[in-house]
Amino acid sequence: MPGANLTRIEAEARKAVVEAPIHYHVNLDLTVGAKTFGSDVLICFNAQPGSSTFLDLIADEVSEIVLNGQRLDPSEVFVDNRIELTGLKTKNEVSVKALCRYSNTGEGLHRSVDPSDGNVYLYSQFEVPDARRVYAVFDQPDLKATFDFKVLAPKSWIVTSNMPAASVEDDDRLTAEGTLEAKPAETTRLWSFDPTPVMSSYLTAICAGPYAEWHTEYRNEDGRTIPMAQYCRQAVADAFAKDVDYLFDITKKGFAFYAKTWGVPYPYAKFDQIYVPEYNAGAMENIGMVTIRDSYVFESKVTDALAERRVVTVLHELAHMWFGDYVTMKWWNDLWLNESFAEFTSTLATAEATEWHDAWATFCSGEKSWALRQDQLPTTHPIVAPINDLNDTYVNFDGITYAKGASVLKQLVYYVGRAKFFQGIHNYLNKHAYSNATLGDLLAELELTSGRDLKAWSAKWLEESGINTITPELEENGDGTIASLTLVQSAPAEHPVLRPHRLALGFYNEDAATGRIVRTDRLELDVDGESTAVTAAAGKPRPALLLINDEDLTYTKIRFDANSLAFAEQRLPDFDDALARAVIWLAFWDMTRDGEFPAERFVDLTLRLLATETESTTFRYALACMSTTAHHYVAADRRDEVLKHVAAELWKLAGAAEAGSDSQFQLATAYLGYGEEGDAAFAANARGLLDGSVTLEGLEIDNNFTWTIVNALASVNEYDDADIDAQLKKKETTENREFAYGARAVKGTAEAKAWAWDQALNNADLTNSQLEAVARGFAATPRPDLAAPYAAKYFETVDWIWSNKTFHMAEALLEGLYPGYADPVELVSLGESWLAGHEDADAALRRIILENVYSSKRTLKVRKYNESL
């Protein structure tokens, strides 16, 4: 769709034509059926007289276009998802009547039917720019406007938008057949909402359906009372009701923390949070009405890591109300600034304003490990990435944009000083309120408050790709004191940039009284250039472990001196501080995936850590990275033995874990991912957990864990389609349908893989979440013989997927269906051949394929290292 991929040059040209004020009157009719809805918009805007421009619109049908009183022929002016507007005046009015299509892909206006009760739920998702799937619009962030929405909906529904409802009026019309699925037609209501403040179109939002609702209010720091609401599907309302007060409390703590931290009270009229089904992202910062994936409604036991992540997500989206919404980027190249700032400040707020005090350890193990992985791919890019068109934007919702950017902002806070940093943020928000700004605008304010020249800092940290490594060179005196300590900074050849770092060195030793490893000394210093002498360390007793980047103040890879490495490998579980453990563990994982530390030693180190680790996200990522290591990185002839060893140890650890604990839950879940066909003991344990003949004290076999067991049994062909269908019939819900699709796809047979491949590619009735479940199940069975037939087939299908699917669905398929358990030599050969033949392919598509192929290249490299030992 040529008109669907807006380029930066086109956006700049349109910005030069279209002028403020811009106002939209948007009328949506949600009563016309199950496939489409009515969209009627009147846009008032100024422009350069005599100029031409275009509106964005993706619609099934456009019945009327009127520009300044003149009817235009839709067949002539509506082409390639654009409406051409010519002969513009100083003041203009254009009206567009259209039929737009509901999606089942999480884009535009998504329509979901809950199988448990037949209720229909709608929600919008407009980032990157998908408001054009719902109404005609100048869909770019720097053409800010005011909006008023009117929505006609079934009488039994509620409708929410960015602003409070000004009126809700009953209507005598009846809904069309199919609007409410199998339910009888009913009369309608017209919801009219207050006009919005000036805002970007991608932040407008509409949700509609028979959502359950809860309300409270917050006394804002400017004296206003802010209405607050939480919404979810009726089917999960009982579970959600248990958490509503807690989530309101977390949100209120966020209001207070942010207002105090940067001195700007919450700026909008209300704040809703609506938990919606089949969501592509974690959440979305629509002004005044945040949408959140309803997997964050916990009907079954979840890890503490996920419970904490929900808190961070709530605070992340709340931070966007100021940073991204109140002040918005001019173009998508500054997307990172929105996301990095929200990620950094939400972690800060979680650590300082909630009970999750180890949030920075969570950030290190989770977000930062994501950043390090992304930054070492051939597709790495500067934090300030060049964004030439919308396709570039889609693929930059990545570990650089979120996690590296957040880590670098944390470094910037220490570089300029916390008080000066947030004073600069205060000034930036006030200066650019309700408008658009750039990175340069932010740095200008930070320079004024800090006195630092940030242009050179920005050039190295934000405008260059890659990651540095800092290694200690330590010489010891005969009496055990440090003679000299030098920190050596290096950079990869392809990104040879050495950066300034503000970091801490931690000295760790055993506490004689407790046997725990504690920090006994700390130095904080600036590191710059290739070599930095740490003169303050001379004469100090050499510690058992010297930790570079203690407290995780900067963004870098670290290495250890030989003594520290040996000590950390043996004593990591005994370190008293969760963040120190996370920093050390991440360094070991990085060395393992770089082929510098033996895979089997990493597995054993991780198993020892899991016996005592209390930080849930570190626990979760340790399990995940151990799985990658055991399945992909160990020497090929050792793989089966290592997998059996890991499975046995996980089962032992689960049995020894505290009853009902997070550790027990994660260990039992992880164990169920190590099944092999023909392993009678595994099958007995899994079936025993399911029927109650095998128990782990305190481990509840609830709905979601039941499906975890079903998935495990299906993967080793101990559960067939009839068994899966029977399990689903016990409780057919939105979530359980997804679990069932995944269980069918994960089965260890060629027939199951063929079915999954066909369903993922060709079943247009699958929702986005169901498609993702099928793709995950297809690729998750760790058997090379089942993956092998799809190596060539994958690369033969790439072009068709890209041409026939929306971006989000194409991304889900191209990432999810990659047969990573096939022979990596063949995958690399096929992948390089495809890339060589597609040099002119869309950059977004090439990036996805490059990253898949590189994962196979890394497997080959690391496996070769381990085979050489």
Residue in 317, 339, 343, 613 annotated catalytic: 317
Is there a contact between 634 and 863 (Cβ–Cβ < 8 Å)? yes
Report how far residue 677's alpha carbon sits from residue 717's, in angstroms, rounded to the nearest whole number: 7
* Count of helices and strands (H, E) across the chain: 30, 29
Q: Which residues lie below 8 Å from residue 324, measured CB to CB, with a gap of 6+?
A: 285, 338, 339, 341, 342
Report how far residue 553's alpha carbon sits from residue 579's, in angstroms, rounded to the nearest whole number: 11
SS3 472: strand
Cα–Cα distance list, 769 to 115, 180, 462, 804 (Å): 14, 21, 34, 18
Burial pattern 175-199, b for ≥16 Cβ within 10 A else e, equals: beeebbeeeeeeebbbbbbbebbbb
DSSP 167-231: EEEEEEEEPPTTTTTTSPP-EEEEEEEPPP-SB-GGG--EEEES-EEEEEEEE-TTS-EEEEEEE
C-alpha closest to that of 350 among 341, 360, 338: 360
Is there a contact between 297 and 240 (Cβ–Cβ < 8 Å)? yes
Neighbours of 138 (CB within 10 A): 26
Is there a contact between 134 and 53 (Cβ–Cβ < 8 Å)? no
Q: Which two tokens stand for residue 475?
A: 């010489």
Helix (H) or strand (E) segment spanning residue 421: helix 418-431
C-alpha closest to that of 641 among 652, 626, 630, 633: 630
C-alpha closest to that of 628 among 822, 787, 782, 785: 782
- The reply to whether 464 belongs to the active site is no
φ/ψ of 616, rounded to 5, equals -65, -40
Residues identified as active-site = 317
